[in-house]
């Protein structure tokens, strides 16, 4: 934001300079000549002459001077800049004007963070923790469509321009929301904004994913995020329209007049509740690239062209022998929409006009369909899961966690109504059945694995199943137990000039090891070795390692790393089997071997010169 920092009180110069250093595109304007600042004769005159030239004004000094300076300039919350006032000591940051739309509330929080000050925001939705409905479009790239019920007694004055009428309706709807009236939230797509809304759901809001599941009589307000505006004629509604639709267009040769064809297409889409703001792109066959209608569309939209061969590869619900005869593909509009959207399902099947056809599909990346997220839970401590992992758990409809390997406390953040199941007693077939049941309902599933799922996580079979069934999935990494071991041992596992490699491996038990990965062969490098899943064969592990490591090599046996009952036993390699046996260690135990354990000897050449003064006597 282009920001003018106006220094009213000289005592606040340090506050102004602190803000100047942290806020890009800002400048300080002072009534006195100060180094690095721009001199002005009057705060009121400067504000009046520059009110439309800056995105934000920050006054440092008395609130009264701030108010008198901006009062003659205030016109509209949709166009006025953000205005803040900070006392000269930098203790309070007050949002004065354009809190939501102008970004004053957000800037207040940012400035308070820079100064270590207390933010003062009086907007009701902010004070109550509710969504700011009028800022969601700007925040998430949506276009709002606001409607009032046919039977509503509230009618914006006819003298207002259309934009003002919509704003009046928006304000009316916002008042219903912040008053806590029963609100339905319809989400037909999924993007960053819908994920955020579900993660921060107010208590008076109920979520739905299909319009037919909503009983309008139960609600006084309907909010929705959808590229297709639903018809709820008896209930106030704000529909946030994301740019999520890919249209496919088929045209007769030299279809025209151009304006009439475009108008007819617009009317067809309007009848289906599709507004121009929902259109991400338009696609057709490359043979139509020189058509006047296509040329006209290119002025407003991104237009993609596909070959007949590409379109023919797409299975469509309404193939046409006539289109095949003339174009070499059984479909243009439906196939083009599906191909561009990377989707196999149409939102709008082919609609035929006098000299055109049109179809629409939702962008495949925004489809509200089933998804499986394989999440690394970390080594055990619930606080060691990633921020992303925690957020995914909070929005999951099903959490399937790996039994005794993952603390159940990690699932306590599940949202109300979520299903939380342990997979400890399930075989793979049962796990797949449960996940597939939720997936087919278009729900979000978290498969929670210990540590990092890609290291001895047994996820390969699951991914193979997901691939075979064309299921959407993704992996969120986690902190591995070998990292937790390094932290618990207060050790750097890679020490310059001593050891620069870490080997993650396991001993050969019931599962054979590749010949080239036998422990004694891996041990030849004298690297730091972290051995998983091998406490039950400790004697064998010790025997193999002693073929390459000295008997006195440091060893650590780590049980239940980061759990409440964590235990760590240190010793030498010659005593490894004894340590494991005497302490009855079996499952969830990691063995660490190598000179890096607890090593504090010397510094590398890189740092020795720089820090040598620390070691002088």
Q: For residue 571, how many C-alpha atoms fall within 13 Å in the half-sphere facing its CB?
A: 16
Range of the domain at 175: 135-242
> What distance in Å separates the CA atoms of residue 337 and residue 341, rounded to the nearest whole number?
6
- By the 10 Å C-beta count (0-12 exposed, 13-18 middle, 19+ buried), 292 is classed as middle
Please state the rounded mean pLDDT for residues 162-177: 79
Q: What are the start-end ranges of the E strands in 332-385?
A: 348-352, 356-362, 371-376
Q: What is the pLDDT of residue 440?
A: 87
> What distance in Å separates the CA atoms of residue 177 and residue 181, rounded to the nearest whole number?
6
219 and 251 housed in the same domain: no
Length of the chain: 617
Assign 403 a pLDDT band (cuts: 50, 70, 90).
Answer: confident
Domain of 564, CATH number, reads: 3.30.950.10
When comparing pLDDT for 93 and 126, which is higher?
93
Angle at 349 between CA 346 and CA 350, to 5 degrees: 135
Q: What are the start-end ranges of the E strands in 177-288?
A: 183-187, 205-208, 221-225, 237-241, 245-251, 279-285
447 and 508 housed in the same domain: no
**Which residue among 479, 514, 534 closes a domain?**
479
504 belongs to a structural domain: yes
In the predicted model, is pLDDT for residue 36 greater than 70?
yes
Query: What is the chain's Cα-based Rg?
Result: 32
> What distance in Å separates the CA atoms of residue 231 and residue 273, rounded to the nearest whole number?
8
Place of tokens 């019920």: 149
- By the 10 Å C-beta count (0-12 exposed, 13-18 middle, 19+ buried), 224 is classed as buried
Assign 237 a pLDDT band (cuts: 50, 70, 90).
Answer: very high
In the predicted model, is pLDDT for residue 228 greater than 70?
yes
When comparing pLDDT for 560 and 159, which is higher?
560
Helices (H), 25-156: 43-50, 63-70, 104-115, 124-127, 136-140
> What distance in Å separates the CA atoms of residue 50 and residue 221, rounded to the nearest whole number?
40
In the predicted model, is pLDDT for residue 433 greater than 80?
yes
Q: What is the pLDDT of residue 161?
A: 53
Q: What are the start-end ranges of the E strands in 363-449?
A: 371-376, 398-401, 419-422, 444-449
209 and 141 housed in the same domain: yes
In the predicted model, is pLDDT for residue 405 greater than 80?
yes
- SS3 assignment, position 203: coil
> What distance in Å separates the CA atoms of residue 260 and residue 353, rounded to the nearest whole number?
11
Which stretch of 125-134, 302-311, 312-321 has the lowest confidence by average pLDDT? 125-134
81 belongs to a structural domain: yes
**Which residue among 362, 380, 405 closes a domain?**
362
Q: What is the pLDDT of residue 271?
A: 93
Percent of the chain with pLDDT over 70: 94
601 belongs to a structural domain: no
Domain of 336, CATH number, reads: 3.30.420.180
Backbone angles phi, psi at 547, to 5 degrees: -70, -20
353 and 388 housed in the same domain: no
387 and 320 housed in the same domain: no
> What distance in Å separates the CA atoms of residue 98 and residue 79, rounded to the nearest whole number?
9
Q: Which token pair is 560?
A: 């239940």
pLDDT in tens, 479-528: 999 999 999 999 999 998 889 999 999 998 888 889 999 999 999 999 99
9 and 116 housed in the same domain: yes
When comparing pLDDT for 152 and 258, which is higher?
258
> What distance in Å separates the CA atoms of residue 42 and residue 37, rounded to the nearest whole number?
14
> What distance in Å separates the CA atoms of residue 433 and residue 452, rounded to the nearest whole number?
24
Assign 563 a pLDDT band (cuts: 50, 70, 90).
Answer: very high
Please state the rounded mean pLDDT for residues 326-334: 95
In the predicted model, is pLDDT for residue 616 greater than 60?
no
> Which among 127, 120, 75 has a CA at the least distance from the CA of 102?
75
> Which among 398, 374, 394, 377 has a CA at the least distance from the CA of 386?
377
324 and 405 housed in the same domain: no
Domain of 13, CATH number, reads: 3.40.50.11220
Q: Which token pair is 575?
A: 């005593």
In the predicted model, is pLDDT for residue 246 greater than 90?
yes
In the predicted model, is pLDDT for residue 125 greater than 80?
no
422 belongs to a structural domain: yes
pLDDT in tens, 278-309: 999 999 999 999 999 999 999 999 999 999 99
Please state the rounded mean pLDDT for residues 452-467: 92
Q: What is the pLDDT of residue 150?
A: 55
275 belongs to a structural domain: yes
267 and 352 housed in the same domain: yes
600 belongs to a structural domain: no
Q: What is the pLDDT of residue 76?
A: 84
116 and 176 housed in the same domain: no
Helix axes 13-22, 104-115, angle to 10 degrees: 110
Q: What is the pLDDT of residue 617?
A: 47
Q: What is the pLDDT of residue 164?
A: 67
Q: Which residues pair with 273 in a beta bridge?
A: none
The continuous run of DSSP H or E covering 57 comes out as strand 56-60
Q: What is the pLDDT of residue 511?
A: 82
614 belongs to a structural domain: no
Q: How much is the pTM?
A: 0.65
**Which residue among 126, 153, 178 closes a domain?**
126
Mean pLDDT of the chain: 90
Place of tokens 């449960």: 434
389 and 410 housed in the same domain: yes
Q: Which residues pair with 360 in a beta bridge?
A: 247, 348
414 and 432 housed in the same domain: yes
Q: By the 8 A CB rule, do 406 and 400 touch? A: no
Please state the rounded mean pLDDT for residues 311-323: 94
391 and 459 housed in the same domain: yes
* Total structural domains within the chain: 5
Percent of the chain with pLDDT over 90: 75
The continuous run of DSSP H or E covering 523 comes out as none
567 belongs to a structural domain: yes
Q: Which token pair is 204?
A: 């008076």
pLDDT in tens, 353-368: 989 999 999 999 898 8
Q: Which residues pair with 559 in a beta bridge?
A: 567, 589
Q: Give the DSSP letter of residue 87.
A: -
């Amino acid at each position: 934001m282009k920001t003018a920092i106006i220094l009213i009180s000289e005592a606040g110069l340090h506050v102004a300079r602190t803000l100047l250093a942290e806020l890009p595109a800002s400048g300080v304007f002072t009534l006195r000549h100060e180094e690095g600042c721009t001199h002005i004769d009057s705060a009121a005159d400067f504000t009046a002459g520059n009110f439309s030239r800056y995105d934000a004004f920050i006054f440092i000094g008395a609130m009264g001077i701030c108010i008198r300076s901006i009062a003659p300039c205030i016109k509209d919350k949709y166009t006025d800049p953000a205005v803040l006032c900070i006392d000269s000591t930098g203790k309070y940051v007050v949002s004065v004007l354009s809190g939501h739309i102008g970004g004053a509330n957000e800037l207040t929080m940012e400035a308070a963070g820079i100064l270590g000050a207390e933010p003062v925001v009086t907007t009701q939705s902010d004070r109550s923790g509710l969504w700011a409905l009028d800022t969601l479009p700007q925040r998430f790239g949506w276009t709002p469509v606001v409607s009032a019920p046919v039977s509503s007694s509230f009618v914006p004055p006819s003298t207002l321009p259309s934009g003002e009428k919509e704003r009046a309706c928006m304000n009316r709807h916002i008042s219903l929301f912040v008053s806590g009236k029963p609100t339905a939230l319809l989400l037909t797509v999924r993007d960053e904004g819908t994920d955020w809304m579900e993660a921060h759901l107010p208590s008076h809001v109920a979520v739905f994913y299909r319009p037919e599941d909503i009983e309008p009589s139960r609600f006084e307000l309907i909010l929705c995020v959808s590229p297709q505006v639903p018809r709820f004629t008896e209930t106030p509604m704000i529909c946030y329209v994301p740019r999520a639709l890919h249209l496919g267009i088929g045209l007769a040769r030299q279809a025209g007049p151009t304006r009439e064809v475009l108008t007819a297409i617009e009317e067809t889409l309007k009848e289906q509740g599709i507004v121009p703001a929902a259109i991400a792109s338009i696609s057709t066959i490359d043979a139509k690239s020189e058509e006047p209608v296509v040329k006209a569309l290119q002025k407003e939209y991104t237009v993609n062209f596909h070959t007949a061969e590409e379109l023919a590869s797409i299975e469509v619900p309404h193939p046409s022998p006539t289109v095949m005869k003339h174009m070499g593909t059984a479909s243009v509009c439906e196939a083009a929409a599906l191909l561009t959207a990377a989707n196999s399902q149409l939102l709008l099947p082919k609609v035929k006009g006098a000299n055109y056809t049109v179809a629409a599909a939702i962008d495949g990346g925004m489809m509200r369909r089933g998804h499986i997220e394989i999440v690394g839970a970390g080594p055990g401590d619930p606080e060691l899961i990633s921020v992303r992992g925690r957020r995914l758990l909070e929005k999951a409809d099903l959490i399937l966690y790996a039994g005794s390997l993952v603390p159940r406390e990690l699932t306590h953040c599940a949202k109300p109504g979520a299903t939380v199941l342990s997979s400890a007693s399930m075989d793979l077939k049962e796990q797949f059945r449960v996940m597939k049941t939720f997936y087919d309902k278009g729900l979000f599933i978290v498969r929670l694995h210990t540590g990092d799922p890609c290291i001895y996580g047994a996820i390969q079979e699951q991914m193979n199943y997901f691939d075979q069934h064309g299921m959407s999935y993704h992996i969120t990494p986690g902190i591995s137990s070998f990292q937790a071991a390094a932290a618990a041992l207060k050790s750097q596992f890679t020490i310059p000039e001593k050891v620069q490699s870490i080997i993650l491996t396991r001993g050969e038990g019931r599962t054979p090891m590749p010949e080239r990965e036998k422990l004694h062969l891996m041990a030849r490098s004298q690297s730091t070795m972290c051995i998983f899943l091998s406490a039950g064969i400790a004697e064998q592990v010790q025997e193999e390692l002693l073929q390459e490591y000295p008997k006195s090599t440091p060893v650590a046996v780590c049980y239940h790393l980061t759990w409440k009952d964590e235990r760590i036993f240190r010793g030498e390699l010659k005593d490894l089997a004894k340590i494991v046996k005497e302490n009855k260690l079996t499952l969830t135990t990691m063995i660490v071997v190598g000179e890096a354990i607890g090593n504090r000897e010397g510094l590398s050449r890189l740092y020795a010169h720089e820090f040598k003064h620390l070691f002088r006597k």
